[in-house]
Structure 1
Amino acid sequence: MRYFVAVVTHRSFRRAAAELNVSQPPLTRQIQQLEEILGVRLLERNSRGITLTAAGDSFYADARNILALVDQGATRANAIGQGQMGRIDVGVFGSAIFDLIPRIVLAFREAFPDVEVSLHTMSREEQVKALVERRIDVGFNRFFSDYPGLFWQTIASQRMLAAVPTVHPLARRASLSLRDLDQQPIIFYPPIERPGGFSNFLLRMLHERSVAVHIAQNVEDVITAISLVSIGLGIALGVDSVRNLNIPGVTYVPFTEQDAATFDLCLINRADDHMPILEEFVRTAKVVGLGAVDAA
């Protein structure tokens, strides 16, 4: 088919043979075999070179389109194999979606504009299940522990802060200690009934310091928690990236050095997944995460 297109494009067997770097007899045989396969005559030779039959004219247009698709397919396959094209499904949850994850996605898209990055909001348990079932390629979460077949690594650490109603006396403080939260209404997320998460870690911290915990509300996510802070329902604890939730009526106050806990953000993926595109995404996440740590 490529030989046929070359002959028609140059209107000459001799010029086509020179371009294809073959001698004329094999080129002629290739065209004859093509005509035998199709059962029609495609070319007519004359003193001025060659002309197309009606069948040849039709087949020439189709042949060019087919070869273009073949080239396009080869280019796309090579790009996917080199990690320059394709799709990555990412599980996300928590406050990192307000800062670090968007910066990771932006940096990756700038480097690989032909790769689609699809974000899916999932809890840690949902991310683990989706990774095992291969419905997502990578997840972001905190407090991850070892799980068979999954690999995790810390890409950034963020300091804890308090989201306080602006009208609350504690909102005027430059910094807080955990003891300042004694008897204060606190909004927990995710629900404390869910083991191994942010809320349970906070409860342990407060109990270790003999802080009397007043649970004002259990909610599913940080957006709901900060929204409840804005109407004065209580105080919520989070990490630096929560500041990007610029909701009226909320003041963000850091903790003293003594109580300045930090929380790791983990990237989780399948241990046996070595797709070039995924390896590039992980590399970008680590670079952006390192930059966030340096900036802090």
Structure 2
Amino acid sequence: MRAVVVIKSMQDNQYFAERANAIFDEVVYLDNRPNQEELGEVLTNFDVVIIGAREKITSELLANHNVRTKVIGSLSVGFDHLDLNALREVGIEVVNSPTANVRSVAEHIIAFMLCLVKKLKRGDQVVRSGGGRSDLAGLPIEINGKTLGLVGYGNIGSLVGKMAKSLGMNVIATRASRDAGRDEVAQFMSLQDLAASSDIVSLSIPLTNSTRRIVDRAFLAQMRPSAFLINTSRAGVVDENEVLAALEGGRLAGYAGDYDDANGRLLNHPSCVFTPHVAGLTVESDARLDNELIDRLADLASRN
């Protein structure tokens, strides 16, 4: 089997490179990430294509090329850059790295939470402008005893719950398959009840048709004016215009997002904090992503 890796730096990971050489007959590392047309050509020439979240594979791309590829290895946790139905229809299997960055994202959520409640962004701005504590516009708060609402309770959400509980927080959660009962960490409830009961809401869900703008005007209306909202999913799971309106109307205390294409007015709001889609990217998780992906590709090869 011929394999191509579109992220050249992956060849510097010795574990990945050695396993890839052992699995495939030939491994090619591209010098540059392909554009959409170049990606189509890649799909016509290689059996296995290893990509990142930047590469978009659509039904149109597949229809316009004589695709040879049988396996896509995606260096990602999510699949929103891939048309899974179209890939399935042409017989292409997709392999990803589902757990490699779980701890990195969970820690980022905790960091966002502390940044918001401790007014770290505002505090930094005050000091740089020569101000003092009276310029903070209200005191920070403690998270001990506060309620964290987790929308999504998979690998990331459940780990955030454990971390939050160790910090003295009450944890509530909702997920597609469960909105009642409890486990050792969280009490489960409906999305609406969670919105109304949380001091901080954290979103850890994939972007799908059913989750697009799950945080809308009605959801925000249920939240407490003193509550904070954290989004390490995708921008599309919230209605940014409604989030901005809630912030400007005093109906939401703060918002944090891990994406780099935010609404301009939201981006510049003093109660918002953003990072450029790096929640899952750390020194440690970077290596785990590569290694988990090649391990799962090796497992697939051994079964075929």
TM-score, L = length of structure 2: 0.31
Question: Which has the larger helix fraction?
Answer: 1
- Could you say which structure has the larger radius of gyration? 1
Question: Which has the larger strand fraction?
Answer: 1
